[in-house]
Amino acid sequence: MNFWKNIPAKKRSPPTMKIQGLRWYIAGLLCLTAGLNYLDRQALSILFNTIQKDIPEITDTHYSFITSAFLASYTVMYAVSGWVVDKLGTRKALAWFVSGWSLASMLHAFARTTMQFTVFRFLLGATEAANFPAGVKAVSEWFPMKERALAIGIFNAGTAIGACIAAPIIVGISLAAGWRSAFLISGGLGLVWLVCWLVLYKSPRKHSLITDAELAVIESGRTAQETGTMKKIPLINLLKMKETWGCIAARMLTDPISYFLAFWVPKYLQDEHGFSLGQLGIYSSIPFAALALGNIAGGAIPRWLIGALGWNLNRSRKTVMATATVLIPLSFLLITQTPSPALAVTLLCVAMFSHAAWANITLPAEVFPKHVVGTVSGIGGMMGGVMGVISQLAIGRVAATTSPFAAVFTTGAILYPLAFILVCLLVRRLGEVREVKS
């Protein structure tokens, strides 16, 4: 005992293990939560035809009401949750919201009426909204500017991965144990993720596992607003900036396409091309796999262009966005003309890859300092949700017409060129953090 007392405490303590490339583990963790977010979200769209057989009084019009309830709460809470994330911090806020949406998803297993589905869907939307402001804020905390598009791409790829694996997982559970079990199991996975999040996530400067070299990389090139003392920014000052409205416009015009692809593609394949539930479990995952690849490509390609060709972030990102802006309308218009299920799935893959590569969610992190990224993302998501509610109700109204999906795809073909033009006019140069007056 005396021997140990004579050794200084500093030498007795084992050295703290550091993790090389810790920020990429954080990106992976964010990717997982986005995946679980969409797994829970997609469960209803995948199982809706099955639920209709069990509860026939729930019609397609009722389904549009149910999805609109999700988007109504999602829309309001997107803006509120962005403020909450900035106020509470990423770690604490995301822990609360993931717990909430996991429980809300599990409640779907007990629904027996349209009203019950509507209420539970409302709760799911209210709690799922925080995932994206929190994820973008986490990336702005953990990644330097030149890596943010890729990191957000990895994070956002989780949405497509979740949607991709949702079909085989949800269909498999439903066929084996019933559709109610699918909601219980998918919701329960979020509670498992929560434990990993609380163990691993902290801000870079407070993290005991980060190396000094990586911390220097994360903080390289940051402006005084990002590294200095964070001052309270009045919302009105953000709303006076053209860049804010450029980010908002991008979400308003392109988020409705995201919601259409998430909620209606499984039904499109069943109604227009006669897919069975088993076939849906196999083939509907393919376009969502393309969506996942598009999310990663939307960040990886600009990063490659910067490194290989010496382009700046603005030029590289807008080149990818412009290419996607051409491919999406072309794919959507061709989808309306093809009777072939295989060609329809192929065109959906092209459209969804391009949709993800456009990377609308990345814009605030490429323009604003990190302490307002959550707020700007929240406002943009809220306005995108408003347009999403309107579009969902409109789709529900045309669902009984002869060719409802042709009208939707044709409308979607117009939105991306308009969004790209507004980004160029209002957001202007990407990769330059603007000073926000306090």
Q: Which superfamily, per CATH, for 19-218+231-427? A: MFS general substrate transporter like domains (1.20.1250.20)
pLDDT at 260 over 50: yes
| % of the chain at pLDDT higher than 90 | 22
pLDDT of residue 400: 61
pLDDT of residue 174: 86
List the structure tokens of 220: 């390289």
Report the candidate in 294, 322, 22 with the shortest Cα–Cα distance to residue 154: 294
Out of 61-65, 78-82, 158-162, 310-314, the most confident range is: 310-314
| CA atoms 320, 325, 326, 332: torsion sign | positive
| % of the chain at pLDDT higher than 70 | 92
d(CA 185, CA 189): 7
Interval 39-55: pLDDT, tens: 888 788 888 888 888 88
pLDDT of residue 3: 41
Interval 310-353: pLDDT, tens: 899 899 999 999 999 999 999 999 998 888 888 999 999 999 99
Report the candidate in 188, 148, 130 with the shortest Cα–Cα distance to residue 378: 130
With 0.95 as the threshold, say if the pTM is over it. Answer: no
Report the candidate in 245, 262, 260 with the shortest Cα–Cα distance to residue 380: 245
Mean pLDDT lowest among 24-33, 292-301, 370-379: 370-379
Q: What is the mean pLDDT of residues 181-197?
A: 90
Name every residue whose Cβ is closer than 8 Å to that of residue 333 and which is 6 or more positions away in sequence: 409, 410, 413
In terms of pLDDT, which residue wins out, 253 or 61?
253
d(CA 375, CA 147): 21
Q: Where are the domains of the chain?
A: 19-218+231-427
Interval 352-374: pLDDT, tens: 999 989 988 889 888 888 778 87
Interval 87-133: pLDDT, tens: 888 888 899 999 999 999 999 988 888 889 899 999 999 999 888 88
What mean pLDDT, rounded, does the chain reach? Answer: 83
pLDDT of residue 350: 95
Interval 224-259: pLDDT, tens: 555 554 566 777 888 889 999 999 999 999 999 988
* Helix locations, 13-144, DSSP H: 22-54, 60-88, 90-107, 114-128, 131-142
Q: What is the mean pLDDT of residues 385-394?
A: 82
